[in-house]
Amino acid sequence: MHCPICHHRAHVVYCAHCVNTSPSLLLKLKLDLISLKNENRILGEKVEQILNEAMSYGQLGVKALERKKDPLTNSLMKLDVLRMKKNNNRIKNKIDQLNERIHNKRDHVGRLKLEIDNYGHYKVGTDVDKLRERVEINDARNKLKQISQVCESTRNYKLSLLNDWFVIQKLQDNFQIPYTIAFQPLISLKNFRVLPLVITNDSINVMWKYVDFLSDILMIKLPYTHNSTEHPFEPSDDRQTVIQGLIKLIINILQICRHLNLVPSTPMDIPWLLDQYDVDGLFYNMVKRNKMKCRSVSLYWNFGMLYSIVLDNLNSSQRGHPSRRTAPAPALTGPHDRWYVVG
């Protein structure tokens, strides 16, 4: 084929028919192709052998000198060495991190052990203090219990002596005077106008003395006090004073009964209570510590209300109204007649 400008042959081009039919052209090209295939096959086998040797040279008995002869083998070996170094560096970094974490955890464990030891010493000290305080409280409770028992026995002994001293008795065969104190009748609303005023005055004074001594033994403060050194009341002039003293005595008796839990602390129906027990019954039950039945109301009774109730009961007894105890008509006696003194 010629160039259209310089008319020189630049390249030889053969058609397909000439290539396939010309023996000289076909044989030469085929031989070149066969030789190229053989060279490629040899090179391929060699590369494969080098790769196999490079990947398994530790297991194969290949000498180091033979491995160094091939540059590809050396390159692959260097690549493996670099990979191994990379892996080793990575593993080393992980080991360093784990060692640092272990060191930090050891320090944390040491601090925790130190805190546990300090807390153990503090807890032991606190437990010792609590135990000592508990022992002191138990000792104080035991002492208080012993003192309470001694006080209770002493109080009961004093009350027994007080009752023996005042000789408080209940008469079975006397309906008019069922109770006595110091061989004198206990005053009630039913026999207040039956007995002479001097007997009434003396009985109320003795009841006042007993109530004062009883309040001292029980260590309670009563709403009213009575001066036992006063002169006896006169029958004509001091009956009103005697009635007021009787009302104060009733209030003190109810206060002591509440302290002894003989009656409830809530408001009570005092008229019903006086009708059921009267003054002498309240006094005797207080002495013997017998619980009494009560009715509840919505208001507390004051001195004025109780005074009017007592006056109504005394007037009812004087007019002969039916009551729980029917007293005989008062006899004509002198101011100092003591025939009602019992013994």
| Chain segment 87-97, per-residue pLDDT in tens | 889 998 999 99
Average pLDDT score over residue span 220-239: 59
Instruction: Report residue 270's pLDDT band, with 50, 70 and 90 as the boundaries.
Output: confident
pLDDT number for residue 271: 82
Query: With 50 as the cut, is the pLDDT of residue 328 above it?
Result: no
Top pLDDT among 56 and 339 is at 56
pLDDT number for residue 230: 45
The beta-strand segments (E) located in 64-110 are none
| Chain segment 11-55, per-residue pLDDT in tens | 666 677 776 667 666 777 778 888 899 999 999 888 888 877 766
- How many helical (H) and strand (E) elements, i.e. helices and strands, does the chain have? 8, 3
In this structure, what are the phi and psi dihedrals at residue 265, rounded to the nearest 5 degrees? -85, -5
| Chain segment 141-194, per-residue pLDDT in tens | 888 888 888 888 888 888 889 888 888 888 887 777 888 888 888 888 888 878
Say whether 169 sits in a helix, a strand or coil.
strand
Average pLDDT score over residue span 70-79: 76
pLDDT number for residue 75: 78
Say whether 33 sits in a helix, a strand or coil.
helix
> Which of 7-11, 222-226, 309-313, 333-337 ranks highest by mean pLDDT?
222-226
Give the integer Cα–Cα distance in Å for 131 and 135: 6
Instruction: Report residue 110's pLDDT band, with 50, 70 and 90 as the boundaries.
Output: confident
pLDDT over 70 percentage in the chain: 73
